[in-house]
Structure 1
Amino acid sequence: MHFLYVDESGDPGKHKHSSPHFILSGLVVSQEDWSIYLERLKTFRKSIYKKYGLNQRLEIHASELIRIGSLKEYQKITKSNRINILKDYATQIPIIFSNAKVINICLKIEDYPDRDIFALAWSRLLQRFDTYLKKEAKDKGVVIVDDTDSIKLQNLQRKLRIYNPTPSHFTEGSYNAPINNILEDPFSRNSNQSYFIQTVDVIAHLLYRKEFPKGSLKKFGLEYQFNKLEPILLKKASKSDDLGIVRA
């Protein structure tokens, strides 16, 4: 069995306050490696506690490490050290998850004025996960998500099990390639109870910082941290991007 842990960055809605992007990052973990990765995550969190004083039970939420919102305990740590936590995490992810794979979807909302961004991004992610399960892992998998539109995602995945039009590489047009290696409906998992979901939150945010660098944060080098994940990126997910990021 393989697990796909997923978190997002951005807002798939289209309104005046929506973000310019919608990012989905998925961490593919084998059942055989799960316990090993959990122990490594625990060790990493202990090191973060010793180095920066971040409680091991406190959720790591990437955007709040940069700009504190509801997690007031972050105030005990300086901003530079909170960003250093993200940088340390970026360094450790390929080491902790040495046999895992990361799939990334990054869509600019303005490029799809007439499309449902949520459905488009999730379709791309589920397609890539299913293809990985069939061709590389030769296994079945399940999807585990943080807070999202669970009913809409459930209906989308059920639809793709029946009809998933896929462009043909050999002829014009497309063929139906049902997503049938992903079992059950997506499972919801509260991020503050899962180191794995917290990890994909960090991955999605690092991709956001790479794609949309903010001037005031450039002195911290945040836009370069995502590239540290290169050893475990599923580059086959997109032949048109050096890091395998799916952009269309």
Structure 2
Amino acid sequence: MYLVYYDESGDDGLPGASELFVLTALRVHDSDYRNVYEEIKLFRSTLRKKYAFPSRSELHTRELLLHKKPYVALNLPEHRRLDILDEFINFVPSLPLNFTNIVINKPKIQRTDYDVLDKALTYSIQRIENTIKRDKPGEFFLIITDDGRVEKMRRTSRRLQKINYIPNSNGLGYSNKPIQGLIEDPLPKPSDQSYFIQYSDMVSYLISLYMRHRLGIDRFPSKLPTAINYDKLVDWLTVLKPILNVVASRESKFGFGIVCYPK
């Protein structure tokens, strides 16, 4: 069975405070879970010794880069914060993980009843099921997420197990193919208690910055370190590419397995 941990970048309101909503799912097999968890603990211990970055400090990538709470109290200079993020990005591909990323480009939405989170989660669950069917036929998956969106995610996941219309390959009409691999409702877990949710947060924020540039939506946050530009983001995502879900969709317009809606 796979454990699938969700986090996001941006808000799911319409129009909301952000132009983009990025939903990221980290997938890890239950047989790998214990070893991966211990590897992460060891890595965090190394960071503590090398950078004085507390082992129990929650990783919030946006706040770390923009030097916001709780990281201000650590008095980490800009280059040190970048070094820490570099360490995370170079470490994660050593683990048997896989990330699925869905981007909702809200300025393109025309319908007033467009449910941003519902759409993003629908596309995400569909891609995860398709990937598992290809890689490990017969395996199931369980969703784990932070508390804030559990109820809305529950409604979506329950619906998809009954109604899931997929375009027919011949381009004529749709067929109902309910999701079969998902078990249980999405389960809540505080992000500060989950390394896996924190890694979803990291990938989600990097994808958000990358897509802001690709879509020409607006400039990067003013407090973002000047060393972070489009080329740097491409370098980081290239490092992460071996663990990005790049095969579950035919769309390759943006690279790195990213799919963006509405099309």
Measured in 1, the distance between the counterparts of 2:245 and 2:85 equals 21
Letter in 2 for 1:32: S
Q: Secondary structure at the match of 1:14?
A: coil
Q: Deviations over 1:147-183 (max 9, x none)?
A: 4321111011101100000111134111111012100
Q: Aligned ranges for residues 68-217 of structure 1 at < 5 Å? A: 68-72=67-71, 74-95=73-94, 97=95, 99-114=96-111, 115-138=114-137, 139-213=139-213, 214=220, 217=225
Measured in 1, the distance between the counterparts of 2:209 and 2:238 equals 11
Letter in 2 for 1:195: Y
Displacement of 1:134 after TM fit? 2.6
C-alpha contact 1:237 1:246 (8 A) present in aligned 2: no
Instruction: State the identity %.
Output: 29
Q: Which has the higher helix share?
A: 1
Measured in 1, the distance between the counterparts of 2:48 and 2:163 equals 48
Letter in 2 for 1:233: L
Gaps of 5+ in 1: none
Letter in 2 for 1:27: L
Detail structure 1 runs of 4+ shifted over 3 Å in the superposition. Answer: 72-75, 215-218
Match of 1:223 in 2: 233
Aligned-residue CA RMSD (Å): 1.8
Measured in 2, the distance between the counterparts of 1:165 and 1:92 equals 38
Gaps of 5+ in 2: 214-219
Match of 2:59 in 1: 60
Displacement of 1:63 after TM fit? 1.0
Q: Secondary structure at the match of 2:259?
A: coil
Measured in 1, the distance between the counterparts of 2:53 and 2:73 equals 8
Q: Deviations over 1:3-55 (max 9, x none)?
A: 1111100111124x510100011111001111111111112111211221011
Measured in 2, the distance between the counterparts of 1:91 and 1:247 equals 26
Q: Secondary structure at the match of 1:219?
A: coil
Q: Aligned ranges for residues 230-241 of structure 1 at < 5 Å? A: 230-241=241-252
Q: Secondary structure at the match of 1:58?
A: coil
C-alpha contact 1:211 1:223 (8 A) present in aligned 2: no
Scaled by the length of structure 2, what TM-score is found? 0.87
Scaled by the length of structure 1, what TM-score is found? 0.92
Number of aligned residue pairs: 245
C-alpha contact 2:65 2:82 (8 A) present in aligned 1: yes
Tell which deviates more after alignment, 175-184 or 59-68: 59-68
Measured in 2, the distance between the counterparts of 1:18 and 1:237 equals 30
Measured in 2, the distance between the counterparts of 1:187 and 1:47 equals 31
Displacement of 1:136 after TM fit? 1.9
Match of 1:51 in 2: 50
Measured in 2, the distance between the counterparts of 1:212 and 1:87 equals 21
Q: Secondary structure at the match of 2:258?
A: coil
Letter in 2 for 1:219: A
Tell which deviates more after alignment, 19-28 or 59-68: 59-68
Distance 1:217 1:67, change over 3 A: closer
Measured in 1, the distance between the counterparts of 2:54 and 2:110 equals 43
Letter in 2 for 1:230: K
Q: Deviations over 1:189-235 (max 9, x none)?
A: 11111111111111111111222252753423552322211111111
